[in-house]
Amino acid sequence: MQLILDVLSGRPIVLIIDETGDKKKGNSTDYVNRQYIGNLGKTENGIVAVTAYAVFCGMTFPLTFEIYKPRERLLQGDKYRTKPEIAAQMIKGLQKLGFKFNLVLADSLYGESGRNFRKVLDELKLNYLVAIR
């Protein structure tokens, strides 16, 4: 992360928040569950991660990700958090590291989550553009 921050030299990025899923057979892998897998466009057995991407000078690159832990598959010691809650925490963490954002982009899963996603963006006084169905 420090290398990316050094290259940015304090310049802001566009931050994209999105979730990505992969189909998985069985359920021996932690957090695999029947859930919506966006790249398949349907509900399947799989694993999903919330990812934060940066867009800078025409380049898009991942900054961080976190595996979504479905309530039904929590391990001992896990705390359930929604995807918008995970994304909000990611943004706060990236800001603490020193990243600056001139815009945050997200799809309707996040755009329709005013209580725990858009509220955080407003509290942080960030510009954002989110989809609402």
* Predicted confidence (pLDDT) per residue in 70-108, tens digit: 999 999 999 999 999 999 999 999 999 999 999 999 999
pLDDT category of residue 119 using cuts at 50, 70 and 90: very high
**Secondary structure class of 85 (helix, strand, coil):** helix
pLDDT-wise least confident of 37-46, 50-59, 90-99, 120-129: 37-46
Tell me what pLDDT residue 116 has. 84
Number of alpha helices (DSSP H) and beta strands (DSSP E) in the chain: 4, 6
Burial 9-20 (b: 16+ CB within 10 A, else e): eeeebbbbbbbe
Check if the beta carbon of residue 35 is closer than 8 Å to that of residue 70: yes
Query: Which residue, among 64, 70, 77, has the nearest Cα to 32 in the 3D structure?
Result: 70
For residue 81, give the 3-state DSSP assignment. Answer: coil
Report residue 1's pLDDT band, with 50, 70 and 90 as the boundaries.
confident
Identify the bridge partners of residue 115 per DSSP, sorted by sequence position.
none
